[in-house]
Amino acid sequence: MSTANMGIQGRPTATITGMGVVTPLGSKPEEFFDALLAGRSGLTRPEGEHPAAGWLESAGICRPVDAREVLPPTEGRYVDRFVLLAMAAADGAIADAGLEVGRDVDPRRVAVIVSTGGGGLESYEGAARRREKSGRPGVSPYLLPGMLSNMAAARIAIKYGIRGYSSAITTACAAGAQSIGEGLRLIRAGEADVVVCGGADASLHPTIAAAFNNARALAAGWEDPAASSRPFDSRRNGFVLGEGSAVLVLERTGHAEARGVSGYADLLSWGASTDAHHPTTPRPDGEGAMDSMRTALADAGLEPSDVDYVNAHGTGTKLGDVAETIALHAVFGTHQPAVSSIKGATGHLLGASGAAEAAATALCVARGAMPPTLNLDVPDPACELDHVRGAARRGPVRRALSNSFAFGGHNISLLFGPASTGATRRPEGGRS
């Protein structure tokens, strides 16, 4: 392997050369990011025939994905929505990267890690209802290949002929971010030249809504759904459930340069830790989040002062926002980077959230702009940070960190910097 494009300690660098998203704010990276910068909300009240109508006061709802858009006509009938969202995002990312597996890269040198928090729970629930009504004949033989948590990764691999490492990580709301971090690990280890990585979740249905409502975790009592997700705000009273997918093409920088393609940003490093505290609540002292951020910084050989922006996990829960604030102060000290949470605009996409937020953070680096946190009208005094609020903040973003924390105490921090490919993306999202 050439020593060109080597990062710290002689390890290969990894560049994001493609992005695909399906989010409540749009289904193209530039549409998604422009909406974030403009302060637009993707939150609405589920109505009509939507499965969550009457069960959720507000939600981040994506456009429908017709199975025929992403699968052969005979294969899509029993495929869960989370798989369809993931495949639509993967199609977008691979096309955006201008990548053809088998022509541009050996199929055995491509990996796919596309994860989920819940998998096909809606499909399972529907099958259980049919079983109760009709017995064994009511359950389709295609249930499992349509709903298992690994099926987004598996079907993407089948569609594109990807023959290398494949996996699906199920670390709840950290799953998408962890998939991207594991992609960096594979590239550094020399096990892959390209990794298709990200997350997807589609949990806007009655059982999940009822569970979160009964746990008093969801925002409630807001007449306007767009006002309901309020990270770090003094009036926040829970998170808003969303759905979506984001997939990145992470490529060894030297491989991307050999193909003559540009990048959005480099994934410099990542950090992972575990709270070992409680199944659902974070450590109140923020130590788990501190550990993941410090590990990411150390892994990149950087100091806290090198980071200009943090895309916070920032769900809008009373405990979570305060714990993350404590961790940010402990890690960054007197140097406080700009901070915002896109969940004010998108809601919480669960297993897809970390991947969507990684895409947004990479775009912050590429385009020199940081989106505001929506509905952050009066910051909680316990959440005092350099918040981006009211309007986007423009200017160079040298390094940017994206945090994802999850039920079970899983913590992931991803650290991004400018693309080290010879060519870089233009600010409007095109290639130079």
The residues that are catalytic are 173, 313, 348
In whole angstroms, give the CA distance from residue 146 to residue 12. Answer: 36
Structure tokens at 30: 């530039």
DSSP 213-235: HHTT-B----SSGGGS--TTBTT
Cβ-based neighbours of 221, under 8 Å, separated by 6 or more = 57, 237
**Number of neighbouring beta carbons within 10 Å of residue 174:** 31
3-state secondary structure at position 260: coil
In whole angstroms, give the CA distance from residue 356 to residue 247. Answer: 8
Cβ-based neighbours of 70, under 8 Å, separated by 6 or more = 76, 84, 87, 88, 91, 159
By CB atoms closer than 10 A (0-12, 13-18, 19+), residue 194 is buried
Structure tokens at 237: 């009273």
In whole angstroms, give the CA distance from residue 392 to residue 259. Answer: 34
DSSP state of 170: -
**Residue in the block written with tokens 């950290």:** 174
In whole angstroms, give the CA distance from residue 218 to residue 240. Answer: 6
Structure tokens at 45: 């009240």
Cβ-based neighbours of 211, under 8 Å, separated by 6 or more = none
